[in-house]
Amino acid sequence: MTMKIKNFFQKNIISNIRQLIESKSWQELKSQINEVSPLEIADIITDLNENEQVILFRLFTREQAKKVFENLPIQQQKQIINGLAEYRHNITNLLNDLDPDDRTAFFEELPGEVVQRLMQLLSPQEKDIAQRLLGYPEESIGRLMTPAYVAVKPYFTVAQAMEHIREYGEDSETLNVIYVVDDNWKLLGDIRIRELILASPEQFIKEFIDHELITLNAIDDQEVAVKLFRDHDRIALPVVDSYGVLIGIVTVDYVLDVTTEESTEDFQKFGGAESLDLSYTQTPLLELVKKRAGWLIILFVGEMFTASAMGFFEDRIAQTIVLALFVPLIISSGGNSGSQAASLIIRSLALGELTLKNWWYIMKKEIQSGFLLGLLLGAVGFARIMIWQMAGFHDYGFYWVWIGLIVAVSLLFIVMWGTISGSMIPVILKRCGLDPATASAPFVATLVDVTGLIIYFSVAILFLTEKLL
């Protein structure tokens, strides 16, 4: 109900904005948009056409334009910049006002020549910051950090520190944490603002330094930041260079964005597709097909080996047609168990619960769980054949007990093989420096399908030789 009310008000606001634009009532329009929060405007602006968006951005205050722009998706940001192309002054103000980390994230999505052109619009100070941040490797912590923080010296008194915060804290990304540096900007510690507020004005900052300092390195992968934030429950973490000099901070909101992006990418890969560069709704049809076709072709070729495996046992199948009835049951059970194992291991690797050193622990645990699951499914499979035979639902012939045993034993081995394959493939991929998420459920299922048929018919030959075969 709340969502319906929200949508109703948004439609009314959009309709009102369009009427005011059409009547060119600029002052009234400016007055009305000033009453709406930047986050709400960001939701609304996506439903406006390009011309209407540009008009709104020209009417925003600089602070309002900055906050709305930061809350828009990348594709929408590109559209705004293109629309403002002939209004150089607006673009210049917008780019210079953006937080460095937000601007870096935006520049990363643009072609190189466009970035170079936009860089020329930055002030010398902002240009220097942008070049420094863009100089770090992609997906490194250096791309996430911002130089907008407050640092004090250890010999400051609390009163001096508070005065320094009042003077320089306005543009800081966060004031919850204040950093302590020496005269060479080497990081000594950090202090919670609460400690300073409650402290005596005459106390020295060095009395509050926390020597159990947690830091990030600018060239580390962003996943390192995700893990440290998760493990230590921090609002912000300092970023230092190899000499321990403070060069920026990373706040938790940007790490949450990274987590969302990486989770989305992993889900897409695990579903058997390449990760999308844009959201699903913004991805063109041909691009969507391209992202999905590659894996589908690979999996289709893999499934051809299933036909080859069945062809190899064609004579045996012809002699005992009843065996073919259970092929879907057999191969789906192996694929399902493999997909389960793969999803559990991939997630545990991503969370840092497991590392490559734990491979033998994983192997032992999956052999045991695969054995128990195989026994369970094997028992269910045998019971199904026995009940159908005795109830008269289907006649599996004189050797129905042997057919039931073949299904049961095959399920035992195939489920075990599926769990081992599904758990070890992500580990092997990570060991090779590849993304474990590419061990997608369809990939594991296809592998187990082919090998599962070989196991099934090998067990059948072993059990039925000199009986039906």
Query: What are the residues whose beta carbons fall under 8 Å from the beta carbon of 283, sequence distance 6 or more?
Result: 276, 277, 291
Tell me the two tokens of residue 302: 């893999």
> How many Å apart are CA 89 and CA 212, to the nearest integer?
47
- Ranges assigned E (strand) in 224-353: 236-240, 246-251
Q: Of the candidates 314, 340, 339, which has an alpha carbon nearest to the alpha carbon of residue 327?
A: 314
Show the CA angle centred on residue 378, arms to residues 461 and 409, nearest 5°: 25
User: Residue holding tokens 């420096």?
Assistant: 433
Alpha carbon separation from 453 to 323, 334, 388, 460 (Å, rounded): 11, 10, 23, 10
At 12 the pLDDT is 73
3-state secondary structure of 60: coil
Q: How many CA atoms lie within 13 A of 314 on its CB side?
A: 4
What's the whole-model pTM score?
0.51
At 349 the pLDDT is 80
At 152 the pLDDT is 93
pLDDT digits (tens), the chain, 469 positions: 344 444 545 667 777 888 887 887 878 888 888 878 888 888 888 778 877 877 787 778 878 888 888 888 777 788 777 777 776 677 788 888 888 878 887 777 676 656 766 777 788 888 778 777 777 787 788 888 888 889 999 999 999 999 999 988 887 888 889 999 998 889 998 898 999 999 999 999 998 886 678 899 888 888 888 888 878 888 889 988 878 888 888 888 777 776 666 666 655 555 544 555 555 455 666 765 666 556 556 655 655 665 565 566 556 555 566 777 777 787 788 878 888 888 788 878 876 778 888 889 989 998 998 899 989 988 988 898 888 888 877 777 777 788 888 889 988 998 899 889 888 888 888 888 777 766 556 677 777 877 888 888 888 888 877 655 5
At 160 the pLDDT is 93
At 159 the pLDDT is 94
Residue 149 has phi, psi (to 5 degrees) of -145, 170
Task: Please state whether 117 falls in left (phi above 0), alpha (psi between -120 and 50) or beta.
Answer: alpha
At 310 the pLDDT is 58
Q: Cβ of 306: how many Cβ atoms within 10 Å?
A: 18
Q: Cβ of 241: how many Cβ atoms within 10 Å?
A: 16
At 205 the pLDDT is 92
Beta bridge partners of 250: 237
Q: Cβ of 309: how many Cβ atoms within 10 Å?
A: 18
3-state secondary structure of 280: coil
> How many Å apart are CA 147 and CA 417, to the nearest integer?
52
Contact 310, 453 (CB under 8 A): yes
Give the neighbor-by-neighbor strand order of the sheet with 236-240: 216-217, 236-240, 246-251
